[in-house]
Amino acid sequence: MTASTFNPQVEEQQLLAAFARQLEQGGAVAINLPGQPALAASPVLVELLRASLKEFQEGNGVTLLTSKRELSAQEAAELLGVSRPYLVTHLLETGIIPYRKVGTHRRIALSDVQAFQMERDRQHALLDDIVADEQAAGMY
């Protein structure tokens, strides 16, 4: 399974920035194909464009992966921002993130890594809310 990486050229930056501004102002996205009537872009496509444009504006490239893709332990660790040994000993071997072995190599489903990341982000947001509430009450 492959990944497609997109890095806009310098000359595209202004065009992409203008497109991002129009999307933020609620502009509609239509797809024009030669000889066909214009098609309205689906909400999923619009969100993909928004997220990609945000990353482009920050100077980042965007890599598109299929949700069925499997990652190596190193790729999963990089995606989560943890070391490979931490991923293996604390997240994989304890069963927090499921994986399978191919020979001696661990393979982790991208969807499982994303589910863990979303849950971790949710927990961090809850903790931030608790701290903010305690600070507001003068307890912290």
Rounded CA-CA distance 124/117 in Å is: 10
Q: Which amino acid, one-letter code, is at 56?
A: F
Phi first, then psi: give them for residue 138, nearest 5 degrees: 80, 15
What is the distance between the alpha carbons of residues 101 and 88, in angstroms, rounded to a whole number?
12
Q: What is the pTM of this model?
A: 0.59
Residue boundaries of the structural domains of the chain: 4-64, 70-136
Report the alpha-carbon distance of residue 125 to residue 100 in Å, rounded: 30
Q: Which helix (H) or strand (E) holds 30?
A: strand 30-31
CATH number for the region 70-136 comes to: 1.10.1660
Q: Render each residue's pLDDT in the chain as its tens digit; 140 residues.
A: 457 788 888 778 888 888 888 888 877 788 888 988 988 888 888 888 888 988 888 878 888 878 788 999 999 999 999 999 999 999 999 999 999 999 999 999 999 999 999 999 999 999 999 999 999 998 87
